[in-house]
Amino acid sequence: MDNNIAISFEHVSKLYRLGVVGTGTLSQDIHRWWVRDVLKKGDPYLKIGQTNDRSTKGDSDIVYALQDITFDVERGDVVGIVGKNGAGKSTLLKLLSRITAPSTGCIRAHGRIASLLEVGTGFHPELTGRENIYMNGSIMGMTKHEIDRKLDEIVCFAGIERYIDTPVKRYSSGMTVRLGFSVAAHLEPDILVVDEVLAVGDAEFQKKAIGKMKDVSQSGGRTVLFVSHNMTAVKSLCHKGVLLENGMLKEIGTTDDIVAHYLRRGNAVENYRKWDEPEIKKDGFELLEIGVRKKGGNWEDTMRVDNEQELVIRYRLNEPFEHLHLTFHTKNEQGQKIFSFSSGKQIDVKHNKGIYELIYTLPANFLNWGNYAFDLYVVKDKSKVFIVEDDIVSFTLANRELAIGSWMGKEPGDITPYFSCVEAKIN
Amino acid sequence: MTQQANEWDLLIEPKKKLLSIDFAEIWRYRDLYKQYVKRDIVTVYKQTIFGPLWFFFSPIFTTIMYMFVFNSLAGISTGDIPPAVFYMSGNILWGYFAACFSTGQTAFTANQGVFSKVYFPRLVAPLSGITSSFIKTMIQVLPLIFIYAYYVMHGVPLHFTWEALFLPVIIFLIALMGLGFGLIVSALTVKYRDLNNLVAFGLQLWMYATPVIYPVDITSNPKLSLVLKLNPLQSIFTDTRYMITGMGSMDWAGLLYTAIFTITILFLGVIVFNRQERTFMDTI
């Protein structure tokens, strides 16, 4: 056995039953009990468990939230666990935090585990801030002596000195979160398990929180498992990544690789499509290829807010066209159309038969990070729309590289321009 | 092989043994236990003027009501013991039993929020529950002492017997039996909640089958009397009253029966609690 291993997952699976508990489930329970406990034939429902894909309707109501997960985490590693909603991230943390037991397999660990699936667990609204520090601290496994010693530090970190003897029910939600995180930040576990608790609090506090997590992971070789949808935070904190998909372990690797792969496939984003047998065709127009990529890069490259992107379209004309132009409607994550652009006069000339390639360049520092999609409109004779394809192609923009401690959240709005500005001391 | 397993501090597996309580771990969490007890007591009288005095009201009013309904209207005799002392002692004992039962019964549902986010030995929660109920019960004993003193001063020959040394045992039996029954019910209702609808009714029925408001020798029918004596709570009420007033008689056999019963129930309760502990989050 390698002594450097902090956590070891061995063939861990977790089954869940979908649907409502009622008379129907009673017969399943009796059947399961009969086969497993009386006939000793093993759990019959392990076999019919299905891969957990939320969007497809399966024929079994037993699904694997996690399926055969095996990997080791070395001591001192800071590991980011990424995957889309329902990939099994939280289930993995729940198993490791001993909230619920695995269905099969086992997990071994070295040292004390503290899990931060929520901040301020066990806060009682009627108790004062001080009383709740003791309450929450002991729930997280601190002794009274430890809390006594760190009380001042905790209060100071939370920045709520003034309210410390006021019941927590009078706190703003932000203050409650600060207090909760502050207690958690002063735990001294060997292994820290963190779910997306950083998604709360204001910008200033997020900075503090990420900075603190960084301190924790860098000092004294502590092992951290971190689950987040915030790729910027994952990238800046973790040096290893684990990608989960539909309850299965897809990949382990460096954070950069994992984040890049997640961004490409995790969100069902399709930034490049090519048809050998054209499907989008009408009146002699055939779409052959369409894609968005980093300017001059490959289709697999991560696209970042501060790079130029290019939209590339290849099409074949089987008839000459007198007038032709292509219009794209740009949609944000919520599906709102944010702007449109068109080829306009640039190609609105007589086209002979043949294959054409059209490249648009999207400026750097323009669209905010996130997911975008284009709707395609093909127009002939200046005003006749003859092809409409919604979501013809979609892409993800990643954030700029940020310094540790900067605000990791998403700035509001769909664009994130850099304006030149000049400052002069005038007095 | 075992050598290797020992090197890990933590092993998370699908199933645990039936009766594996990690007492060392519970001991490590003793500060949490104290915090829970403190919270239960303190939060009751936050934002009240009379504070802990409110714990007195329930037994006093219930006693007055019992004296009126069962003693004056229904004419049920309380034997030689003055009705106020009889009812109040019965009420306090039953109140503690019911509180412990409810602690066990709601062990999972009441702590769902915390249990779903943090691990600690789950038994800490019900153990602190029976402790805080005990403290509340002790506060309720104060008015009983006043009433007791009042009767003694007015010449009623109430006195403690030497058997009163066993009062702590009685308290333990109540707490553990209540907890054991509660844990069993909670395990039965985590997934299928049907039983919950019967529990309140069943508990009430049980109270009337227990000598809370009548002495155990109320009936001369031998069959009915046997049924009353099969109730494991019977000896607790009868014996406690004897211990603190010197009236009636001590039922050692009954107390032994109750003790054996309690240990069995507690054993079962902890087994089912252990079984549920690791997967209840998926079914609750």
B14 domain residue, yes or no: no
Residue A2 CB-half CA count within 13 A: 9
CA distance A263 to A397: 9
* A197 and A294 fall within a common domain: no
B5 pLDDT band, cuts 50/70/90, is very low
Same domain, A276 and A151: no
Total of domains in chain A: 2
Q: What value does the mean pLDDT take over residues B221-250? A: 88
**Mean of the pLDDT values across residues B158-177?**
92
Tell me: do A119 and A246 sit in the same domain: yes
- Please answer whether residues A233 and A406 qualify as being in contact, where contact means their C-beta atoms are separated by less than 8 angstroms: no
Q: Which two tokens stand for residue A136?
A: 């929450």
Chain centroid to Cα A327, Å, comes to 31
Distance CA A36, CA A172 (A): 51
**Integer angstrom CA distances of residue A205 from A143, A157, A182, A367, A408:** 26, 10, 10, 26, 11
Low-confidence ranges of chain A (pLDDT < 70): 1-3, 18-26, 36-61, 197-203, 220, 263-269, 334, 346-348, 402-409
Q: Which of A129, A121, A232 is nearest to A172 (CA)?
A: A129
- The candidate with the shortest Cα–Cα distance to A139, out of B127, B37, B114, is B114
> Does position B2 have pLDDT exceeding 50, yes or no?
no
Total domain count for chain B?
Answer: 1
Kindly state whether residue B25 falls inside one of the protein's structural domains. yes
Residues A88, A123, single domain; the answer is: yes
Structural domain includes residue A96: yes
Nearest CB to B39; choose among A118, A127, A141: A127
**Around B129, how many Cα atoms within 13 Å sit in the side-chain half-sphere?**
26
Mutate to test the interface with B, among A36, A75, A104, A138 (most CBs of B within 10 A): A138
pLDDT value, residue A310: 93
Indicate if A260 and A308 belong to the same structural domain: no
Distance CA A43, CA A150 (A): 48
Residue B283 pLDDT class (50, 70, 90 cuts)? low
What is the extent of the structural domain holding B129? Answer: 21-283
Q: Token pair of A66, please?
A: 């996690």
Would you say residue B50 lies in a domain? yes
Other Cβ atoms closer than 10 A to A164: 17
Q: Quote the pTM value.
A: 0.73
Q: Is residue A146 domain-shared with residue A261, that is, in the same domain?
A: yes
pLDDT for residue B256 is more than 90? yes
Residue A202 pLDDT: 66
Mutation pick from A126, A151, A166, A195 vs chain B, by most beta carbons of B within 10 Å, is A126
Q: What residues 159-198 of chain A have any CB closer than 8 A to a CB of chain B?
A: 167
Task: Name the region of A381 (left: φ>0; alpha: ψ -120 to 50; beta: rest).
Answer: left
In the prediction, which pLDDT does A293 show? 92
**A134 and A151 belong to one structural domain:** yes
Among residues A213, A231, A265, which one ends one of the domains? A265
Task: Give per-residue pLDDT as tens, B76-115.
Answer: 888 888 889 999 999 999 999 999 999 999 888 888 888 8
pLDDT at B258: 94
Residue A105, domain member (yes or no): yes
In the prediction, which pLDDT does A130 show? 93
What integer is the mean pLDDT of B163-172? 92
B251 within a domain of the structure (yes/no): yes
pLDDT reported for residue B259: 95
Partners of residue B192 in chain A, C-beta under 8 Å? 21, 26
> How high is the pLDDT of residue B111?
87
The overall average pLDDT reported for chain B is: 86
- Please tell me the distance in Å from A84's CA to the nearest CA on chain B: 21
Supply the pLDDT for residue A266: 45
What pLDDT is attached to residue A311? 93
**B14 interface with A at CB cutoff 8 Å:** yes
**Res A149: pLDDT:** 94
A191 in the same domain as A307: no
Q: Cβ-count burial of B122 within 10 angstroms (0-12 exposed, 13-18 middle, 19+ buried)? A: buried
Domain annotation covers residue A333? yes
Q: Say if residue A261 is in the same domain as residue A323.
A: no
CATH at residue A380: 2.70.50.60
Looking at the domain assignment, is residue A35 inside a domain? no
Tell me if A382 is assigned to some domain.
yes
Within this chain, do residues A198 and A232 fall inside the same structural domain, yes or no?
yes
Q: Which domain holds residue A321?
A: 272-398
Report the range of poorest mean pLDDT among A229-243, B223-237, B247-261: A229-243
Domain with A121 in it: what CATH number? 3.40.50.300
Are A86 and A112 within one domain? Answer: yes
Residue that wins the pLDDT comparison between A340 and B59: A340
Question: Which of the 8 DSSP states describes residue A363?
Answer: P
Residues of A in contact with B114 (CB under 8 A): 121-122, 139
In Å, how far is B115's CA from the nearest CA of chain A?
7
ipTM of this predicted structure = 0.83
